[in-house]
Chain A
Amino acid sequence: MNATEINIIVKVGMADLKVADHPCILTTLGLGSCVGVALYDTKTKISGLAHVMLPSSLQARNRSNIAKFADTAIVCLVEEMITKGANKNSIIAKLAGGAQMFTLNEMSDIMKIGARNVAAAKEILENLKIPIVAEDTGGNYGRTIELYSEDGRLFIKTIGYGVKNI
């Protein structure tokens, strides 16, 4: 089955996460310094996508939205996939985003958040023993990503930096 033909496109907003059965396309638009964490179970083809904004819920004053933070979002995403029938041992991860949209030397914290988001996502995935098979992170440009459940490919669109599949 082809997800585009049957038109099951699930949109994931900023600070949001979604899990879906095959066939589907999970997409999140205009990732900047946020990171898109795409998880895919190679056996069941269950996929999950989180659009995380901040590295850690531990420093946050308001933790009500668990999809906002890399640590809580990824754990939740894996749990929801397992609830749907995914097998943790066959889940793979792909990362995109974490750009630095504005460049100025003296702008320290606000500027490095993209890289910190990517680092946090990697650490959480490592702790969960989920392999990161591909990534398209960093740079200074935005990305729209689409995760295809038919083969787990992550399609990436940009303005001025081309398109690619990872």
Chain B
Amino acid sequence: MSINLENLNALQIDVLKEIGNIGSGNAATALAAMINKKIDMQVPKVKIVEFKEVSTLLGGEEIPVVGILLKIEGDITGSIMFILDHKASQVLVNLMMGKNAEDPVEFDDMQVSALKELGNIMAGSYLGSLSMLTNLKIISSVPVLAMDMAGAILSVPAIEFGKVGDTVLYIETEFTEGSTKVQGDFFLIPDVDSYEILLKAIGVNA
């Protein structure tokens, strides 16, 4: 059976949105606990867009972003990626480390490590929600981080999605700490064979 994102029905999209909502909510709570500050979160936007449009939505193919990738194992396999733009990664590093961070390409080891941990917590919270809602066993790997052009980082999820269709599914979340807004994007990238398991588990198999 071939499932691709183009032929998901409205109910399936709603369920994926709701998972995105709960997952990002937990992620925001985890983030607040980590930096010991109150974090507000906007309702996340779940988008299914052609990969040609994705980097435009993030501000252009050439803008520097931080990508944190974790592999998913267990009942479903695939990967999850958390993307932060230049400004967001600076803001978050500053919040976590209590000092001013330089340009992302010049983050030092400690700052990179803090960002990895952030990705770990965010992805972990998201996957925790997904696991709870689906009753599927989902384990994530140690995070790996890369800082580069948005297009280059996004090529990784885009290629995986490319095996089944011409679109990607991503969840845009916006967090606010005080007057500071931070946008982060999640890409949940199930392996080809895991789509069916995932949709079956949430009870909306096509």
Tell me the A residues contacting B by CB distance below 8 Å. 13-16, 29-34, 53-54, 59-62, 64-65, 68, 99, 101-104, 106-107, 110, 113, 140-144, 157, 159-160
A interface SS class: loop
Interface residues on B, range: 35 or more
Name B156's contact: one of A13, A61, A102, A106 (CB within 8 Å).
A102
B interface SS class: mixed
Tell me the B residues contacting A by CB distance below 8 Å. 2, 4, 51-52, 55, 60-62, 64, 67, 69, 71, 79, 105, 141-142, 144-156, 158-160, 162-166, 192
Name A99's contact: one of B52, B67, B152, B160 (CB within 8 Å).
B152
Name A29's contact: one of B62, B142, B160 (CB within 8 Å).
B62
Q: Are B166 and A15 in contact (CB-based, < 8 A)?
A: yes
Shortest distance between the CB of B58 and any CB in chain A (Å): 10
In the complex, residue of chain B having the shortest beta-carbon distance to the beta carbon of A16: B52
Across the interface, which residues of B come within 8 angstroms of A65, CB to CB? 166
A53 to B165, CA, bound (A): 12
Name B162's contact: one of A31, A54, A107 (CB within 8 Å).
A54
A-B pairs with beta carbons under 8 Å apart, 26 shown: A14-B51, A15-B52, A29-B151, A30-B61, A30-B150, A30-B154, A33-B155, A33-B159, A54-B159, A54-B163, A62-B164, A62-B166, A68-B162, A99-B152, A101-B153, A102-B67, A103-B144, A104-B144, A107-B71, A110-B160, A113-B159, A142-B152, A143-B152, A144-B61, A159-B64, A159-B147
